């Protein structure tokens, strides 16, 4: 069973089996592995008014403040480590180690930051993969990358190749 204190569990539109799934997570029978598909801001005052459609200080890629919970945030009842990343034409392969005492699924996310004045202030998600790993074991997984990973849209609205990429896993 899981020991713990405070927790937040979001389950939007969980479907017909949602109640059972939530109960299994709450009682420690299943290991949560979801990640946020949006950013939770500390306060509505952190966001600019919607007087125009500029992206400055909006969405996880352009927000310059400190979010309450950032895009991609997630928790687990176990501890994960990722090592030995290898970039190839197919994507990035990594070894995912479950260092905890509970079986679980890891959702490995790959972000890329592009060195360009046209790029957002934060890295963007360019691929992810879910991998099931029993407690104490390791699995290799391949994360396929978005075909636009090495591009950025310039001020003229043109998609151009980036000069320098930085990957984060």
Q: Which residue has the higher pLDDT, 165 or 124?
A: 124
Phi, psi (rounded to 5 degrees) for 141: -140, 155
Q: What pLDDT digit, counting tens, does each position of 109-161 carry?
A: 998 888 777 788 888 889 999 999 999 999 999 999 988 888 888 888 888 88
Q: Are 119 and 162 in contact (CB under 8 A)?
A: yes
Q: Residue 1: is its pLDDT beyond 60?
A: no
Quote the pLDDT of residue 4.
58
Phi, psi (rounded to 5 degrees) for 155: -60, -25
Any idea which of 3-7, 21-25, 138-142 has the lowest mean pLDDT?
3-7
Contacts of residue 155, Cβ cutoff 8 Å, sequence gap at least 6: 118
Percent of the chain with pLDDT over 70: 96
Please give the model's pTM, rounded to 2 decimal places: 0.81
Percent of the chain with pLDDT over 90: 37
Rounded to an integer, what distance in angstroms lies between the CA atom of residue 131 and that of residue 85?
Answer: 15
Quote the pLDDT of residue 62.
84
Q: What pLDDT digit, counting tens, does each position of 88-122 carry?
A: 988 999 999 999 999 999 999 998 888 777 788 88
Q: Are 44 and 85 in contact (CB under 8 A)?
A: no
Q: Residue 2: is its pLDDT beyond 60?
A: no
How confident is the model over 64-85, as a mean pLDDT?
Answer: 91
């Amino acid at each position: 069973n899981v020991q713990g204190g405070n927790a937040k569990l979001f389950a939007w539109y969980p479907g017909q089996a949602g109640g059972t799934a939530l109960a299994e997570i709450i009682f420690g029978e299943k290991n949560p592995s979801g990640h946020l598909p949006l950013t939770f801001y500390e306060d509505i005052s952190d966001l600019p008014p919607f007087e125009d459609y500029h992206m400055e200080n909006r969405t996880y890629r352009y927000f310059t403040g400190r979010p309450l919970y950032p895009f991609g945030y997630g928790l687990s009842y176990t501890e994960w480590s990722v090592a030995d990343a290898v970039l190839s034409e197919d994507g990035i392969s990594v070894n995912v180690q479950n260092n905890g005492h509970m079986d679980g699924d890891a959702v490995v996310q790959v972000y890329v930051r592009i060195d360009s004045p046209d790029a957002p202030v934060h890295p963007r998600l360019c691929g992810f993969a879910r991998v099931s790993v029993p407690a104490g074991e390791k699995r290799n997984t391949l994360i396929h990358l978005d075909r636009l990973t090495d591009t950025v849209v310039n001020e003229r609205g043109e998609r151009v190749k980036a000069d320098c990429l930085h990957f984060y896993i």
